[in-house]
Amino acid sequence: MLRQTLRSSKAVVFGRSGFISLSSRDYSTSKEYDYIIVGAGSAGCVLANRLSVDNSKNVLLLEAGPSDRDRWDSFLMKMPAAVPLNLANDRYNWNYATEPQ
């Protein structure tokens, strides 16, 4: 199950040289990690950062979602003025809905 999840995920790997963002095609699932953190929200990123201070540990931080590499509209994710456009796009907002209160 984890191997399948790793194949279809995007990952951020923390280590000796800071962090790098990878899509599933960029890394091997045969590598072993000391810690695997699922979710790159506020807590997940802080936890991964704290754990990666020890250079002898390998930390894998997984975040759901497709890779934006080689997409014509990937610049929208880096542009603060495009936040309303991204929130209206089901590719990024995961079609979250709430009930009126």
Task: Kindly list the domain boundaries of the chain, sorted by start residue.
Answer: 2-67, 68-101
3-class secondary-structure state, position 30: coil
Residue count (the chain)? 101
Q: Determine the average pLDDT of the residues in 53-79.
A: 82
pLDDT tens digits for range 4-63: 444 444 455 554 444 555 555 555 566 788 999 999 889 999 999 999 999 899 998 988
64 or 12: which carries more pLDDT confidence?
Answer: 64
The 8-class DSSP code of residue 68 comes to -
- For residue range 80-100, what is the model confidence (pLDDT) as tens digits? 898 888 888 877 777 777 888
Residue 2 host element (H or E): helix 2-7
Task: Look at residues 11, 1, 2, 28 and name the one whose alpha carbon lies nearest to residue 65.
Answer: 11
pLDDT, position 29: 62
pTM of the model: 0.54
CA angle 8, 95, 37 (to 5 degrees): 40
